[in-house]
Amino acid sequence: MAADLAGIHSSDPATVYLAAWARVKDFRVEDLERALYDERSLVRMSGMRRTMFVVTRDGAATMDAACTKALIDGQRKRQIKMVEDSGIASNGAAFTDRVAGATMEALEARGEATAGELKEDVPELDQKIHFGEGKRWKGSVGLSTRVLFLLATEGRIVRGRPLGSWISSQYRWSTTESWLGGPLPVLDPEQARTDLARNWLGTFGPGTELDVKWWSGWNLGPTRQAIGDAGAVEVEFDGGAKGYVLEDDLDPVEPPDEWVALLPGLDPTVMGWKERFWYLGEHAGDLFDRNGNAGPTVWSNGRVVGGWAQRPDGEVAYELLDPVGGGARALINAKASELTAWLDGVVVTPRFRTPLEKRLSAA
């Protein structure tokens, strides 16, 4: 599943599990935990658009070369400036290198550690850095958060087991070498972008140039090159818009039987395209937050027809925004009951809440 979807969104930890429940027959929480934390055939890391994904180990190397490595210089410069602007050190570069080195030494000594444990070993981490002074969006963030994010972006550390249950967003950290048995393979960035574009087209194609650019986080030039090098074929959508699809994906397909799905917030399918009208219609205001993060959605036959949420007692409730037939409504009712039973009292509050989800959960 992680390979087929070119990664599973993991900014909200519950998304990974609920996305798997929607797609994997007889899925259990322990199945994913085993793949992530015991077999380590899946890796949680930052990639496209600085977003967290769960990917296969091969996918991790591709994503790292195609997307993550390009973030390092900008994130390092940002951290140096924040350290200096906050008055923590006059030489932000030297301070960042020293604290990052001490953090790596502490992590290697412990084997795995939380941010709180690392603060005990490296007291400098227990400071606040400030940003946006004089701006409406000013704020502060723990230095430990920024240092760990930079080390993860550099591929030196990875997130391991969470501190709590499967819905927890606090993780233990390990060095990449100790967690995976070695560093991520170093791949050619251009080839990695081509491979990632081919993966996207194989999963989400046909799609537009803007879709690929937005999903990957690349600039326009690398996007166009990756699409071309992936061997994509230009096609025309209804209405005359131009798109791309893989050459072996041009043949017509038989429509599937009637189907429904309850997909979680930030689901990789919901977030797979930038231009969403063809499956989302006019429902973005109800089902997305102001920053473009998707909430839980109800699907019927390839389009979004509503949203769902959990009530305080754990019941899964839904609201339809488009009419559906009686057969589809019966399938949606069955899915909602099935998901309520599977969650078994665990109440999941999406990290990014949307108007419809808030309305339903309070009902």
CA dist 39 and 59 (Å) reads 16
Residue ranges of the chain with pLDDT lower than 70? 363
- Helix count and strand count (H, E) for the chain: 15, 13
Contact indicator for 317, 311 with CB cutoff of 8 Å? yes
Domains of the chain: 1-185 (no CATH), 188-251 (1.10.10), 260-361 (no CATH)
User: Per-residue pLDDT tens for 274-304?
Assistant: 999 999 999 999 999 999 999 999 999 999 9
Report d(CA 101, CA 82) in Å as an integer.
19
Dist. CA 151–CA 147, nearest whole Å: 6
With 0-12 CB in 10 A as exposed, 13-18 as middle and 19+ as buried, what is 164? exposed
Task: Please state, in angstroms and rounded to a whole number, the distance separating the CA atoms of residues 211 and 269.
Answer: 13
DSSP-assigned letter for residue 352:
S
> Do you know the residue count of the chain?
363
Quote the pLDDT of residue 8: 97
- How confident is the model at residue 319, as a pLDDT? 98
- CA angle (237 as vertex; 233, 242 as ends), nearest 5: 55
Q: Which residue type occupies 110?
A: R
- Share the mean pLDDT of the chain: 95
Kindly state the percentage of the chain with pLDDT values over 70.
Answer: 99
Spatial CB neighbours of 98, under 8 Å, sequence gap ≥ 6: none
Give yes or no for a contact between 15 and 36, defined as CB atoms under 8 angstroms apart: no
User: Helices 72-85 & 92-110, crossing angle to 10 degrees?
Assistant: 110
DSSP string, 297-331: EEEETTEEEEEEEE-TTS-EEEEESS---HHHHHH
Query: Quick check: 265 and 25 in contact, CB under 8 A?
Result: no
Query: CA–CA separation, 193 vs 195, rounded Å?
Result: 5
pLDDT value for 114: 96
Q: What tokens appear for 200 in the block?
A: 């996207």
Q: What is the pLDDT, as a whole number, of residue 43?
A: 97
Reference 64, options 183, 200, 210; nearest CA is 183
pLDDT of residue 173: 98
Nearest partner of 92 among 80, 104, 103, judged by Cα: 80
Torsion angles phi and psi, residue 272, rounded to 5: -80, -20
Q: Across the chain, which distance is largest between two alpha carbons, in Å?
A: 67
